[in-house]
Amino acid sequence: MSRLSGRATDTQPLEPLEYRLVMAKLPKHWQIFYELMWQTGARVGEVLRLSKRDVENTGVWITSEKRSDTLREFVPLTPDFYRTLQDLADKRREAHLFPYTPQAAWLALRKAGKDAGVRTGTIHSNLIISPERRLSKRVSRLKRRHYIKPTIAEVRDAFSNVNKGSQT
């Protein structure tokens, strides 16, 4: 997929269309894993450490792997996805929701990307993050600036939405 800003680099997250194409090629358990990353902006290691007790009150508690001043943060989820995640937690015998390795997460993403015809050599599994999360305060607070590069279209849309809100 071509990018508005030129060629892809390893610091550019998946675009929403790329994300949807990749998700369609993943098995259900990996879809849940990557949807959680997409909605929360969590890193692979943060999602891999999640236990059943971290899922509560329509959201999930994320424990940061990079910050010492914000160790745990509650992140709300969409109602449908929360139910999906809660169902997964209820079915798991293990304490952890995702008993995988970071390498397995990368291999699943790379295979799905290849099957979907989406770039695979330049994406990193930590770059699964929605445009809303990319532009949110949470992302800047977690200091993921080295991962975050919104596209020109996303920046224009964000400013357009802000301007529309201030005119009413």
Read off the pLDDT band of 1 (50, 70, 90).
very low
Distance CA 42, CA 14 (A): 14
Q: Give Dmax (Cα) for the chain.
A: 53
- What are the chain's domains? 16-163 (1.10.443.10)
Q: How far is it, in rounded angstroms, from Cα 84 to Cα 48?
A: 17
Backbone angles phi, psi at 120, to 5 degrees: -125, -30
User: Which comes out higher in pLDDT, residue 130 or 39?
Assistant: 39
* 103-125 tens-digit pLDDT: 999 899 889 989 999 876 656 55
Position 116 scores a pLDDT of 93
Whether residue 66 is predicted with pLDDT greater than 80 in this model: the reply is: no
| Residue range 67-76, pLDDT digits in tens | 666 678 888 9
